[in-house]
Chains A and B, each alone.
Chain A
Amino acid sequence: MSLVPGLGLVRGMALTLRRFFEPKATIRYPEVQADIPPKFRGRLQLLYDEYGTLKCETCFQCAQACPIECIDMGGMDTKGRFHVHWGAAETYGERREESALRRSGRTVPDPAYDHFEGVDVGPVDDILETFDHDPAHLLPILEATQAHYGYLPVGALKRISQVTGTWYAQIYGTASFYGHLRFEPPTVTAQATAISERRPDEAAFLASLGASLTGRPGGDA
C-alpha cells in the first residue's frame, strides 16, 4: 500500500491497460494445435507395428492391470474362440463389485459369460453356403440360423459377420429389429413367468389384502 490513497488502484489499472495491448495467451484450438510434448502419454490410441498390424493381441493384460477397471475388451483369441467380456456400460458398477468379490477369492456366477458356451459354428457355414455368403439375404440367413439353434447365439452371429464381411453391428441390428428373432434360448416356462410377473399370485394378493385390512404389513387376515 502506498502513502497516497488510491495510487495502488491506479497502478493496477495501468497494469491491466498494459496487458490489454500485450500478446494473448489463448491457443485458438481448431486452427492452432496444442504443442504436445513427445512424452505425453494421454493419447487414447492403439499402436501399430512397422507392418501396419495392430499391436493389440487382446491378451487382456491391460484390462487386468487397470486399477479402476475402466478397460474392457472385445475380441477373439488365437484359437478362434470368442472371449468377449460383454456388458453394457450401465452394468459397469455391478461388474466392479463382482470383480471385487472375485478378487476376494469367492466364486461369482457371471451371467456375462453365459452366452459364450461353446457353439458349433459348422451349421452356420452350411447355411451361409446355401445363401451364397450374400449379406443381402441377411434375414433368411438369420431365420435359418434360428431355425437350427432355436435362437441366435452370439458365436453364430460373429461367424456370419466374419464370413460375409458384414459389420457385426448391422447383423445385430437386423436381428434385434425383428420380433421373431431372439437371442436367448426359448424356455417352456418363459411365458408363464411373464404372466405371473404381471399379476401377483394368490398368496401375495391375500397378504396385501390382509395388510390393507389390518393396517399391519404382512398381517394375517
Chain B
Amino acid sequence: MTTTAGPHQHASADDPRVMLDDQIGAFEPIPPYPPRTEREAEFYTLGDGEMFLNMGPQHPSTHGVLRVVLKLDGEKVVDLDPVLGYLHRGVEKLCENADYHQVISQVDPLEYISSLFCEWSPVMAFEKLLDVEVPRRAEYIRVLSGELNRIASHALFMGWFALDLGGLTPILWSFIERDEIVEMLAALTGQRMLFNYFRIGGVNGDLNHDFMSRLGDWMSRATGQIESNLTLLNENEIFVRRARGLGVIDTETALSMCMSGPNLRATGSPFDVRRAHPYSIYPELDFDIPTRSEGDSLARYLLRMEEIKQSLRIIDQCLHQMPDSPIMAKLPRLLRPRPGRAYAAIEGPRGQYATYAISDGTDQPFRMRIHDPSFIHLQSVGLLMKNNLIADTMAVMASLDPVMGGVDK
C-alpha cells in the first residue's frame, strides 16, 4: 500500500504536474491510465476517421453535471461512455450515520425536481421496519402532494426536452406551471424545492387554507393552461419529426435494462408500481396507466403529458375523498426498530424509486440502499444513441429524463 507515485504508475488527471507538463493533453477525454476493463479498452480505441468529443460536465444541456465522452464519426455518434460522480455526495453513507428522522432531510436533494418521492420510499421502508400504520388522512395528503409534485416534474420535463431540441419558449412556460405548484407546496410544506415534509408515520403538517386556496385556484385552470402549452409542441412538425423514431427501445430490452416508469410504459408494458405492487391508498383511487407502443422519444414525451392528466384526476379524487383523521401515527421520539430488513418501492415521475433498509436495532439505519430510476435509465443512453447524430444525444437523454442529483447520489 504505497502512497508515492512511482515511475510504473501513471499520473492522474487531478495531479497538478499533468497540467504543468502538457496543458493540452490534460483536457483530452482519454484517461491518462491504461484501460482497466474490456469495455473501456474497446471504447477508448479509435477506429478509422473517428474522434472523441468530451461533452460535459459543464455543457449547457447535460442536465446537471453529467460528463459524456462521445466517439464520433463526423456528426454520427458511434459510441458513448457516460462518466458519473461529479455530484456524488455519498448519501447512503450519510444516511447510515444519521438517525431515522434525519434521513429524510438527507435524501431530499436526491431528485431535486421531485423531492417528495425521494422522501416517500425511505419513509415507507422505515414504517415497514417499525410496523407502523400510517393514518389514512396522512396517506391521502401524501398522495395529493406527491401527484402535484409529479405534475411539476413532468411539466418541467416538457420544457427541458423542448430546450434540448432548440425551442426557447416551452421551458419558461413550464417553469411557470412548476412555479405555481411549487409555491402551493411551499404553502403546505414550508419549502419550495426540498420539502422535507413526510415523516415516519405521517406527514409534517395538515392541509392549510393557504395551500387549499392556491390549489383550488390552480385546479380550475390547470387543464386548459397545460393543453394550451402543449399545442406549441405537439403539432409542431419540426418537433415531431425530430422526436419520432429517435431512441427506439422495445419492451424486452427495456426490461433487461431494468427500466421502469414512463420510459418502460412508452414501450407498451403497463408496469406501474402504483398498480403492479400497490402501496398507500392507490388501490382505492380510479386512474388509468397510459401506455404507448412506439418506444421512441416522442412516445416518452406524449406519455408523460398523458400522465399529467391522470395525476389531475387523482388529485381531484383525493380532494373529494379526503378523510378526517390524525396526520401522524403515535411514535416515540427516538426510533429504534427491531433488527430486520425492509424494501419499499414507489412510482416516481421517473420510474420506480426504491429503498432497501437494514436495521440493527440502533437509532441509525445499518444500511440504506437507494435505488434511483435516473441512474438506471441513464445507462441505456449508450444503447439508444448508437448511430444517431450529436444533435440527438441530448434529446434522447432528455427524453429519458434523468436527474443528476439522483444519478450521482
Contact = CB atoms under 8 A, between A and B. Distances in A.
Interface of A: 1-2, 5-9, 11-12, 15-16, 19, 25, 35-42, 67, 100, 103
Contacts of B238: 9
Interface string B169-204: 100010010010001001111111000000000000
Contacts of A67: 94, 98, 102, 105-106
Interface stretch (B53-61, B120-128, B228-236, B398-406): B228-236
Nearest to A24: B176
Given A35-B183, A39-B210, A16 B169 contact: yes
A1 B240 contact: yes
A37 B183 contact: yes
A5 B179 CA distance: 35
B268 interface: no
Contacts of B208: 39
Nearest to A100: B97
Given A39-B205, A39-B208, A67-B98, A8 B235 contact: yes
B237 interface: yes
B210 A41 contact: no
Given A15-B232, A16-B232, A25-B176, A40 B237 contact: no
A1 B302 CA distance: 13
Contacts of B191: 40-42
A131 B176 CA distance: 65
Contacts of B210: 37-39
Contacts of B232: 12, 15-16
A137 B90 CA distance: 54
9 contacts: A1-B235, A8-B235, A12-B231, A12-B233, A25-B176, A37-B187, A38-B187, A39-B186, A39-B189
A8 B187 contact: no
Tell me what chain A mostly uses at the interface: helix, strand, loop, or mixed. Answer: loop
Given A16-B169, A40-B190, A67-B106, A5 B176 contact: no
Given A16-B169, A67-B102, A39 B237 contact: no
Given A1-B237, A37-B183, A11 B190 contact: no
Contact of B188 (A9, A12, A35, A39): A39
Nearest to B238: A9
By Cβ-Cβ distance, the 9 closest A-B pairs, closest first, are: A8-B235, A37-B187, A41-B190, A39-B190, A67-B102, A25-B176, A12-B232, A37-B210, A8-B236
Contacts of A16: 169, 232
A26 to B, nearest CB: 10
Contacts of A25: 176, 179
B97 A103 contact: yes
Nearest to B89: A68
A214 B272 CA distance: 70
Contact of B237 (A6, A37, A103): A6
B231 A15 contact: yes
B205 A11 contact: no
A45 B105 CA distance: 20
B141 to A, nearest CB: 14
A36 B232 CA distance: 32
Nearest to A6: B237
Interface in B214-236: 228, 231-233, 235-236
Contacts of A15: 228, 231-232
A40 B187 CA distance: 7
A11 B235 contact: yes
Given A8-B237, A15-B228, A67-B105, 6 more contacts: A9-B236, A12-B233, A16-B169, A35-B183, A41-B191, A42-B192
A8 B205 CA distance: 46
Contacts of A42: 190-192
Highest count of chain B CB atoms <10 Å: which of A16, A39, A100: A39
Nearest to B98: A67
Nearest to B208: A39
A6 B211 CA distance: 43
Contacts of B187: 37-40
A100 B98 CA distance: 12
A71 to B, nearest CB: 13
A7 B240 CA distance: 13
Contacts of B236: 8-9, 12
Residue among B208, B228, B237 with max Cβ neighbours from chain A (10 Å): B237
Contacts of A19: 169, 173
A12 B235 contact: yes
A5 B236 CA distance: 10
A38 B188 CA distance: 10
A62 to B, nearest CB: 13
Interface string B273-312: 0000000000000000000000000000000000000000
B254 to A, nearest CB: 26
A103 B238 CA distance: 58
Contact of A40 (B94, B176, B186, B228): B186
A23 to B, nearest CB: 11
A41 B235 CA distance: 42
A194 to B, nearest CB: 28
Nearest to A65: B102
Nearest to A103: B97
A187 B240 CA distance: 78
A58 B191 CA distance: 26
Contacts of B188: 39
A2 B235 contact: yes
A6 B189 CA distance: 45
